[in-house]
A and B are shown apart, each in its own frame.
Chain A
Amino acid sequence: MDSVANQACIVGIGHTEYSRDSGRSEMTLACEAIGAAIADAGLTPADIDGITKYTMDNNDPIDIARNLGIPELRYAAEVNYGGGGGPVGTIALGAMAVATGQAKAVVAFRAMNERSGRGTPRFGQAGTAPGASGVASYFSPYGLFSPAQMVALSARRHMHLYGTESRHFGEIAVTCRHHANMNPNAMMHGRPMSIEDHQASRMIAAPLRLLDCCLETDGGAAVVITRADRARDLRHPRVFIAGAGIGAGHWNYRSMVKDMDSPVSESTVIAKHLFRDAGIKHSDIDVLFIYDHFTPLVMMAIEDFGFCKRGEGKDFVSNGRLRWPDGELPMNTSGGNLSEGYMHGMQNVIEAVRQLRGVARCQVKDARHAFVSAGNAVPTSAMILRNEL
């Protein structure tokens, strides 16, 4: 075994409703989502012996184990930079644990009251500490606080280098909204968006508009991972983790102020190994899940993961190419962070599993391979999932 490829499967998925105010604690959300994922797998909490979490998640695995009745916790790990880097990283850690026998079945989860601020501070707002230390001491005295503001700097540079326009970013927002409107659990269900709506939305940090930014959400989402041979006898068709990787580099020290002139990024580091280890080509991917915190970063991820060259992203996302049912490569088919709910990407993982089980609302016909990424511009992670069809 020289990689985690095909050693582990996602066997259960679960989530809460996504809302602006959940009305219950973050621990309650975590237990609901995890409990639903365990039940979906046809397992009980006694079958679970590992939990992986995002560093930013406030829910402690031992509290979850106590609440859900997990008798023996043999493995608990966190993925750093999660946050956005978390959704796939937690699954990669789980896959490694079950593949090496450190655990039999691992839950990866995200649960937060990020929109209501009841437990987690809103990420779109700055803290009010009077002084700043570390990297923030070079940013926040100038009023550079939020991820959206930092992303605006690289978005403008991308526009300059490649002729990208705001309406190209808008194509990504409109695609996700289109899919959300077919998903009753999506926060933006029933609220259609046109490219004109995107272009008319107010500037947040030019060139970023309001509709270039993801939602803020209360909710919980979880998946269960186990070894491929154990997965065979469970309730659902197996969804294999065909490959998974984590990537970072020295350029990430600037936080989300991305170095646009560097030929390498966290995404290129992952892509270099991921497709080769999985034995899968870009052209094999049937459905795409790109972490959608901000539309310009979605375009940069598509480019740097190798689906097209740098500067070609504007054409790749246009003309409905990412839109179900007629687009060549449907993306974020339940609405993504932009329009379903901001579960730090775990909702995209869940939808990828639905696609490969053949039960998605916007079901891609004969979908066999899904690509799923975590948030770029920070150290990140990505994986390829496949089924047995």
Chain B
Amino acid sequence: MSELSFPYPIPEYGTEPYWAACNEERLVMQRCQACGKFRWHPAPLCIYCSHSGYDWAPLSGRGRVYTWTVITHAVHPAAVARVPYVVVEVELDEQRDLRMVSNLVDCEADAIQFDAPVRVAFETHASGQKLPVFRLT
């Protein structure tokens, strides 16, 4: 690892199961045992009902493009070789307002549209950590 990679995620108390599942190419998030809602990012209490009990529940990995940006100005050493790249906010099919930031990969910037269906894939960071990214379907 060097400055030629974007930072790797540091697993912490409360987030380690998420990153461990990613390494098995599974997308999971916390689902509240009381109200059944998913939440993102990881949090100790449900952000909808404040209940403390949750399961790490699997997601289909399917969603839609909520918004995106095409980054052309490099602000990190690793970005110099990467620009242009697409950062996307995906709204996951399981729940309205369940949105995560990721990259949209293997696509032309001009081909991206609002609400376009996407599906998760996993890319391996130089650190060895697998990261969920998305492709247009």
Residues of chain A whose beta carbon lies under 8 Å from any beta carbon of chain B: 124-126, 128-146, 148-149, 152-154, 156-157, 160, 202-208, 210, 250, 253, 257, 259-261
Residues of B within 8 A of A132 (CB): 7-10
Contact assessment for A141 and B125 in the assembled complex, using a CB-CB cutoff below 8 Å: yes
What are the 4 tightest A-B residue pairs by CB atom distance, in nearest-first order? A152-B69, A137-B9, A126-B76, A132-B7
Among A124, A145, A210, A257, residue most surrounded by chain B Cβ atoms (within 10 Å): A145
Contact assessment for B76 and A142 in the assembled complex, using a CB-CB cutoff below 8 Å: no
Could you tell me the distance in whole angstroms from the C-beta of B5 to the nearest C-beta in chain A?
Answer: 8
With A132-B8, A141-B131, A143-B76 already in contact, the answer to whether A208 and B69 are too (CB < 8 A) is yes
CB distance from B112 to the nearest CB of A (A): 10
Task: Indicate which residue in A131, A205, A259 contacts B10 across the interface (CB closer than 8 Å).
Answer: A131
Q: B122 near A: Cβ within 8 Å?
A: no
**Whose C-beta in chain A lies nearest to the C-beta of B125?**
A141
Mask: chain B, 1-34; 1 = CB below 8 Å from A; 0 = not: 1110111111010010000000000000000000
Max chain B C-beta neighbours (<10 A), residue from A126, A143, A206: A143
In the complex, which of the residues B1, B47, B78, B89 has the most CB atoms of chain A within 10 Å of its own CB atom? B89
Q: Are B68 and A153 in contact (CB under 8 A)?
A: yes
CA distance in complex: A132, B102 (Å): 15
Residue in chain B with minimal CB distance to A131: B10
Which residues on A sit within 8 Å (CB–CB) of B10? Answer: 131-133, 137
Tell me whether A138 and B87 are in contact (CB under 8 A): no
Residues in A neighbouring B71, C-beta threshold 8 A: 143-144, 149, 152, 204-206
A6 to B82, CA, bound (A): 53
Q: Name A203's contact: one of B15, B73, B75 (CB within 8 Å).
A: B73
Count contacts between A and B, CB distance < 8 Å. Answer: 122
Chain B contributes a number of interface residues (CB within 8 A of A) equal to 42
B101 pairs with A130, CB closer than 8 A: no
With A128-B77, A250-B47: A142-B103 Cβ-Cβ less than 8 Å: yes
Interchain CB contact (< 8 A) of A160 among B6, B67, B77, B103: B67
Confirm or deny: B66 has a beta carbon within 8 angstroms of a beta carbon on chain A: yes
Q: Are A126 and B75 in contact (CB under 8 A)?
A: yes
Minimal beta-carbon separation of B63 from chain A (angstroms): 15
- The answer to whether A153 and B87 have CB atoms under 8 Å apart is yes
B76 touches A157 (CB 8 A): no
- From A124, A144, A154, A210, B67 is in contact (CB under 8 Å) with A154
Contacting residues, chain B, for A145 (C-beta < 8 A) = 75-76
Q: Which residues on the A side are within 8 Å of B66 (C-beta)?
A: 157
Alpha-carbon distance between A143 and B87 when the two chains are bound, in angstroms:
7
- Asked if A130 meets B47 with Cβ closer than 8 Å, knowing A138-B100, A142-B131, A206-B70, the reply is no
Q: Does B55 contact A (CB under 8 A)?
A: no
A136–B69 CB distance below 8 A = no
22 chain-A/chain-B pairs, Cβ below 8 angstroms: A126-B75, A130-B1, A130-B5, A131-B8, A131-B127, A132-B8, A132-B10, A141-B131, A142-B101, A142-B103, A142-B131, A143-B87, A145-B75, A146-B75, A149-B87, A153-B87, A156-B67, A204-B71, A205-B73, A206-B71, A206-B72, A253-B47
